[in-house]
Structure 1
Amino acid sequence: MAEGELRIGVLANGPEVQRWQRLALEQLLAVPGVRPVVWVTPPDGQEPDPPKDRWRTALYRRWRRTRFDPPAMRPERIDDLLAGVPRLHCEVQRKGHAERFDPEDLEAIAAHGPDVLLRLGLGILKGGILDLPRHGVWSFHHGDEEKYRGGPPGFWEIMQGDPLTGAVLQRLTERLDGGRILRKGWFNTIDHSLAETVDTVLTHSAVWPAQVARELLMGRNEAAEGVASTTNAPLYRYPTNRVCLDFLLRQARNKARFHRRELQEHEQWNIGLLHQPIAELLKEKPNLNVRWLPDPAPDAFRADPFGYRTADGQLNVLYEKYQYAQGIGDISRVRPKRDNVLKRSRTMLTTGEHLSYPYVLEHDGAVYVVPESAASGRVELYRVNEANDALEHVRTLVEEPVYDPTVFQWQGRWWLFGTLAPLTNAALHAWHSPSLEGPWEPHALNPLKLDVRSARPGGTPFVHEGRLYRPAQDSASTYGHRIAINEVLELSPDRFSEQVVRVVGPLSGTAFNAGLHTVSAVGDVTLVDGKRFVNVDEQRKRVRTRKLERLKQKKRSK
């Protein structure tokens, strides 16, 4: 690899690939310093061997051809991306399920000096091709290789009721789906739609080759070494006709249940207090004796609590006040009393657009608030003015629609963590700055992680015994199900790693026991929120109207 350059080769079946594969190649080639040097395809007309089980799997194959159409798998061409790049036609030798290149073809590929080969086609590769490029052959496996080897992606997760569908970018070895893991992520399994599940996983994992390439160009050769997979997971194959029929019935039942829940089960959050510092949650069995505020109105909820104390020691809790009749949230304040009697809450901020997650931080003697204002497409900074009991706008921090923006200082820099649509629960992004007011720059490796179990911020980062911890939401089973506390192992403008060290919630045995998605620190008090489900007429009408409109749009598009 020449200094400042990464030479890429592409393995494909031809000039036509799936949309997600083109996206992966586009993002890789957009990295400064990446240069495509060779393009390898089978000779025109070389067809894959027909499947031996084509009759036993005929129903699934027919369903895929006629009823299964995720946008990520639609065909697109890549010859425009590889214009001027030498193309080699290499006939692979098939033995069983494995494919090998002839020695002459290996020499021809090696003559172009690729540092990496990105596999976008062909079959199960074995032999000398795996060791030919310096940084190996990179290949995607869409599934958690520790549970599912083989395929098809997403199918067996739905069949087994697994709420998570994994994906990996691996450096291939001789072991099927047992290579060296370069990147790994976890996404929600959408159990009523295999197409939506597959589209999400394929589209959003496509960024990984570009991320690894950036690290290599920073001089981190270890980025292409990865971690060896030791999986002994069963090897899955295309489903038989009987299994496919069971799948179609299961997916239909799941869809009916999904629509019923949307119509009948609506979230109601409430705020609770734990009279202990937030670091107590790191204990193996923390005290979760929560004191809930009085129940919200039947058609409203209180969520995302953050607090501060005024000069007289009064606890002020800012939160998202959501009323189903309006359909948007605003930022309100309550002052909890020991007797649990609440006076009327005060509205602190309303913009006509949805607001939530009023993150509180203190700096240079002032109290600042950074609410989620993703609907406006910006992250705004406000200051609490105790003299007139108001939030005063200071400045815009980031011109991005960030969800649950969380701002903190660590090792001399300011950090802003949050997620971006469409993966608001899974795609963690970060920005950094020398000062609170900016300028803010995106992290070199955004998105930092793709993990619905521990990405989206869920409260106040805190330092305990010199270590930085970051609460995050675990929405694997349902949105806001529980809190995962990450220990941040490495954080700099071009590095990041963390690991989950504790999971908290939901708060069973209480009135709000269906979810927990915020834990925030106010000295010796920790604020939390809890979820239960209610049936709200206004929301049911809104959902019904939305569903009818979608049906009309589908009919018009046919």
Structure 2
Amino acid sequence: MNRSTITFGVLIEDVAMPKWQAEMIDHLIASPHVDVHYLMTIRGKKSVSETASWGGVPWVSGTVVTDVHLTNDTMKWLKEHPVDVLLSLGKWRWQGAIIDFPAYGVWGFRHQWEKVPFFQHYRERNSESEVMLARLFHDEDYQSLKVGYRHMHPFSRRRHQRAMEEGVVEWPAQAAKDILINGYPDSIVVSTVYDDPKVADRLHVVLSQTKHLGKEVLKKAFAYEYWNVGFSNQDLSSISQEGVSLRFLKEGKHHYYADPFFYNDGENWRIIAEEMDHHEPNGFISEWVMRDGDEPTEYKRTLSQPHHMSYPYIVHHDGTTYCIPETSEAKSVVLYQWSGHWKVVKTMLHDFAAVDATVTYYDDQWWMFCTKASGGNSHNEELHVFYADDLLGDWKEHPLNPVKVDVRSSRSAGTPFVMEESLYRPSQDCSRTYGGAVVINRIVALSSEQFREEPAYRLEPDPLSDYPDGLHTVSFVNGVALMDGKRIEYHGKHLLRKIHRFLLARAKRMKKREQTLKEKPSDAFFS
């Protein structure tokens, strides 16, 4: 497409709009890929002066005949001021000529067309909730332009709606950018089903939310997650057909182990993993030696920092072994090299809170997959991609980041691999619980301008094992499958443990604050 911007007109109910809509308009105006021509209020309670503007974009007023048709005067004005996209931020299910005249149609968010947004998801007791930017067609059909699946807020639909709307403020600008790079999407047009909730449905949902609230209170107070590392001689085909069967490390009384990977130190295979000591505020990295499939031995603590460390991802390049531990608290991605010990050789990303960064070489390019700790549940939902010509070179951000929003299969879960010429990426399903299962995605489009993947395999924890409640890391090396497992345990002692960890975290924050104050320049004035 030989153009640099897509033109927008925005339809809103009133100048006094919700915060998420205001932020969305700010993103559109700031985007170099978008040219906003006007903001039109429909049924506004406040009159709009002819000279009013927002960021240099003029306000205009429009009127409707019904909730689906604009007046003839308003339609005439719109046709005299053509744009590529009409973004409709309201409950209107437009019909008639307005559907046809913008080049890329009328866009809106599907949940706004529902009488009670997201109610259907609560009635069906979903663990994830779909949010969609869509293009309206005649007869209330629609076409998906951008879709995401986020974690359901279990006991408050209003909080859930607020979180969902806060997460889409950049979507129209991102969709416009995608069209400029890759052309208009070819997703299918589907029929709209609006099922207004009945009184009995509402009562059922209220009772269900009350039940969830009680469970959440019990979990917050008395539940504790224990992870452990396990291994087996199964391959992917065996696991997908027969299920996971692991031998686990001996469980520590005050420790748990997770995020395991393999590497060879030149003499022996080693397991490297996150360790969490319940008496310490941060996770750190530990290792074991594994000889000829025997039980791992020679444990040692190998990497620790003042901030949390986990997910010590291993990558091999030109005969050298590297490790990329997760350090999102430090807002950086750091590359360590093995040379008898681990040493820092490069900071791959600066000022980016990457979670579980996973690097692989494919199709003559280095690729990094990660989520981002940026508030809410984004660290489990929003997949980001970076790429580089060389592992030790400069890394570039994918222009469509986040390339995917899906709590069921975004966050990294182990080493990618090539099978039958396709790249497969393990990911976590965090929809019901953090690290509930592993979904292995087959990547069907990967370039500096495109990304698309689809689920191919699903690995569930063994329900009969000592760790039946989760599985979130998997790698296959030298005929051995290395994974982890989770057990959720309820006990009164865990309340004391959580209070202890809260106090540790609070002390950590206070220490960090004191350090910041010491480093802050004095405000004193020296003549």
Using the size of structure 1 for normalisation, the TM-score is 0.83
The one of 330, 340, 346 equivalent to 2:284 is 330
Greater Cα shift, 128-137 or 85-94: 85-94
The one of 244, 254, 258 equivalent to 1:303 is 258
User: 1:470-549 counterparts in 2 under 5 A?
Assistant: 470-535=425-490, 539-541=494-496, 543-544=498-499
Q: Secondary structure at the match of 1:153?
A: coil
Partner of 2:167: 204
Change (3 A) 1:168 1:127: same
2:323 is equivalent to residue 372 of structure 1: no
RMSD: 2.7
User: 1:19-58 counterparts in 2 under 5 A?
Assistant: 19-42=19-42, 44-45=44-45
Change (3 A) 1:341 1:81: farther
The separation in 2 between residues aligned to 1:268 and 1:546, in whole angstroms, is 15
CA contact (8 A) 1:182 1:227 kept: no
2:63 is equivalent to residue 91 of structure 1: yes
The separation in 2 between residues aligned to 1:198 and 1:297, in whole angstroms, is 41
Partner of 1:254: 212
Partner of 2:246: 290
Partner of 1:194: 157
Partner of 2:237: 280
The separation in 2 between residues aligned to 1:516 and 1:103, in whole angstroms, is 59
User: 1:431-470 counterparts in 2 under 5 A?
Assistant: 431-470=386-425
The one of 398, 406, 410 equivalent to 2:349 is 398
Deviations 1:8-53 (A, max 9, x none): 1011112121111122222222221311112222355599xxxxxx
Q: Secondary structure at the match of 1:335?
A: strand
Greater Cα shift, 155-164 or 243-252: 243-252
2:109 is equivalent to residue 140 of structure 1: yes
TM-aligned CA deviation for residue 124 of structure 1: 1.9
The one of 156, 180, 187 equivalent to 2:143 is 180
TM-aligned CA deviation for residue 198 of structure 1: 1.8
CA contact (8 A) 2:240 2:458 kept: no
The separation in 2 between residues aligned to 1:508 and 1:545, in whole angstroms, is 31
Q: Secondary structure at the match of 1:100?
A: coil
CA contact (8 A) 1:486 1:500 kept: yes
CA contact (8 A) 1:142 1:201 kept: no
Partner of 2:121: 157
User: 1:353-372 counterparts in 2 under 5 A?
Assistant: 353-372=307-326
| Gap runs ≥5 in structure 1 | 48-78, 144-148, 549-558
Using the size of structure 2 for normalisation, the TM-score is 0.87
CA contact (8 A) 1:11 1:122 kept: no
TM-aligned CA deviation for residue 287 of structure 1: 5.6
Partner of 1:59: none
CA contact (8 A) 2:225 2:488 kept: yes
TM-aligned CA deviation for residue 363 of structure 1: 0.4
Structure 1 runs of 4+ aligned residues shifted over 6 Å read 545-548
The separation in 1 between residues aligned to 2:447 and 2:138, in whole angstroms, is 35
Partner of 1:52: none
Partner of 2:88: 119
Change (3 A) 1:46 1:130: farther
Deviations 1:396-430 (A, max 9, x none): 11011111010111111111111112211101111
The separation in 1 between residues aligned to 2:11 and 2:263, in whole angstroms, is 57
| Gap runs ≥5 in structure 2 | 504-527
Partner of 2:99: 130
TM-aligned CA deviation for residue 303 of structure 1: 0.3
Greater Cα shift, 120-129 or 83-92: 83-92
Letter in 2 for 1:257: K
Change (3 A) 1:15 1:271: same
Letter in 2 for 1:112: H
CA contact (8 A) 1:38 1:114 kept: no
The separation in 1 between residues aligned to 2:89 and 2:129, in whole angstroms, is 21
Partner of 1:66: none
Deviations 1:206-240 (A, max 9, x none): 2221111112223x3323x5331246x5x333663
CA contact (8 A) 1:325 1:539 kept: no
Partner of 1:221: 183
CA contact (8 A) 2:310 2:327 kept: yes
2:196 is equivalent to residue 237 of structure 1: yes
2:370 is equivalent to residue 418 of structure 1: yes
Count of residues in Structure 1 that have an aligned counterpart in Structure 2: 497
Deviations 1:444-488 (A, max 9, x none): 000011100000000001001110000000111111010001011
2:350 is equivalent to residue 350 of structure 1: no
Greater Cα shift, 164-173 or 504-513: 504-513
The separation in 2 between residues aligned to 1:401 and 1:425, in whole angstroms, is 13
The one of 248, 265, 268 equivalent to 2:226 is 268
Change (3 A) 1:199 1:546: farther
Deviations 1:478-530 (A, max 9, x none): 11010001011111112100001111112232221111100013232221111
Change (3 A) 1:327 1:45: closer
Q: Secondary structure at the match of 2:253?
A: coil
Change (3 A) 1:414 1:191: same
